[in-house]
Structure 1
């Protein structure tokens, strides 16, 4: 495998068009029907916590964080995590995930949730949400609803349906 000159950096406003193209390449149009996408729809993501990865001038990866809540308690939802299909398997997703979680922790956030594959995300400290504690507002395999606590005891305060923070 060839070594990449990968640059991982905070997202900038001007990255938005390239990120939209990347997500289209990585996930296709079916992504809009997924519950996680629908939850993020119309819910502005936290630009200060977004992370991108580039090789030269080509944006090859991105991850964003959206503010969500359960009841009055606010926390973050990681995603989408997108890596250009031609660059998969090179550690870009891992680098982005680590950087995003570190940024959330440094910002004083209490918890990050996501819908994803447990075997992939456990390396970052994610574990399944205990059954019945939190629910998505649409169909999601409960085994794919994962969280990582950034502040001890924060998860114990959460219960209910996950909604966009602004609604």
Structure 2
């Protein structure tokens, strides 16, 4: 059993250490990080998962972005400590945070990832949406949290104003 709760300022460095452990060196050189530079993650949607002993087992963050002028959330990174992988924690973090996002009035979420993994959460390839280069367009995925939220939404993904 894990305690899922919003990330706080006190969690920041521990979450960063988890991301460093789970992702390749240079992760911050990815184009999606240009959309995050100097922008705080969305409070209340960026979650941490702790085991009964209070040890960090997983984390997920969201960032505000604009897609062709339409407000959206950028999901990522999501990470689960290697000793906790395979327990469904990543899926739990994604499902819970997407549910919270919808309840808080967000309509759409975008990410750069593997369609076979993320399609079970409703993510589909977005055509006409451009992430900062270099990003493989086949990996640009989105999910509508309200009916038709991605209809007619195209253009460049930019940092939130």
- The TM tier, using the shorter chain, reads over 0.9
What is the CA-CA distance between 1:40 and the residue it aligns to? 1.5
TM-score, with length taken from structure 1: 0.90
What is the CA-CA distance between 1:21 and the residue it aligns to? 0.8
Q: List runs of 5+ in structure 2 lacking aligned partners.
A: none
Select which of 39, 50, 73 maps to 1:43.
39
Select which of 94, 97, 100 maps to 1:100.
97
* Alpha-carbon separation, structure 1, partners of 2:55 and 2:135: 33
> For each residue in 1:34-73, what CA deviation from the matched residue of structure 2 results, as whole angstroms up to 9, or x when unmatched?
1122321222210121111111221110001100002321
Match of 2:139 in 1: 144
What is the CA-CA distance between 1:24 and the residue it aligns to? 0.8
> For each residue in 1:127-158, what CA deviation from the matched residue of structure 2 results, as whole angstroms up to 9, or x when unmatched?
1112xx11001111111110000112221241
- Structure 1 stretches of 4+ moved >6 Å: none
What is the CA-CA distance between 1:87 and the residue it aligns to? 1.5
Aligned residues, how many? 160
Question: SS state of the match for residue 38, structure 1?
Answer: helix
Query: Are the aligned partners of 1:110 and 1:154 in contact in 2 as well (CA < 8 Å)?
Result: yes
1:89 aligned onto 2:86: yes
TM-score, with length taken from structure 2: 0.93
1:24 aligned onto 2:20: yes
What is the CA-CA distance between 1:86 and the residue it aligns to? 2.0
Match of 1:53 in 2: 49
Q: List runs of 5+ in structure 1 lacking aligned partners.
A: none
Q: Which has the higher helix share?
A: 1
Select which of 111, 116, 135 maps to 1:114.
111
What is the CA-CA distance between 1:10 and the residue it aligns to? 2.0
Q: What is the RMSD computed on CA atoms of the aligned residues? A: 1.3
In the TM superposition, 1:2-13 aligns within 5 A as: 5-13=1-9
